[in-house]
Amino acid sequence: MKAILMVFLGGGLGSALRFVISRGLNKSALEIPFGTFTVNIIGSLLLGLILGISLKSGALSNNTILFLATGFCGGFTTFSSFAFENQAFLRAGDYTNFALYTFGSIIAGFTAVFIGLYLSKLV
């Protein structure tokens, strides 16, 4: 039951922060949604840091990992918004922004995880 509570609390905080950031940075569905992009890349970086630190030192408890990685990062990042925004690009015939957003998000997301893992080795 404690594990569920950790995920629930972390997810709520992550979702609320995602809402604030996305609301401030997303302007319309017909331009690159920088809010969603930003939270997904920051979340990827944080996930790499959290899991890298945990793997390196074992300093994070299982409940802390559930709170931060599964809960916070899971609530903070959003694949569903990413998918919805991409279908809006396709529906509007905006193939350029569709390609930029899709491939930019994938490449930047993987890069952010790797950077987070690398930075965790320096801590």
**Which CA distances in Å does 123 have to 8, 49, 110?**
28, 9, 20
Confidence of residue 104 (pLDDT cuts 50, 70, 90): very high
Judged by DSSP in three states, 60 sits in: coil
Write down the pLDDT at residue 29: 56
**Count: domains in the chain:** 1
Q: Tell how far CA 84 is from the center of its chain.
A: 15
Write down the pLDDT at residue 37: 95
**Is 77 labeled as ligand-binding?**
yes
What is the model's pTM? 0.91
Checking if the pLDDT of 13 tops 60, the result is yes
Domain of 28 in residue numbering reads as 2-122
**Is 70 labeled as ligand-binding?**
no
pLDDT in tens, 17-49: 999 999 889 876 558 899 999 999 999 999 999
CA distance 81 to 84: 5
pLDDT in tens, 45-93: 999 999 999 999 988 999 999 999 999 999 999 999 999 999 999 999 9
**Which CA distances in Å does 21 have to 38, 55, 56, 80?**
8, 29, 31, 16
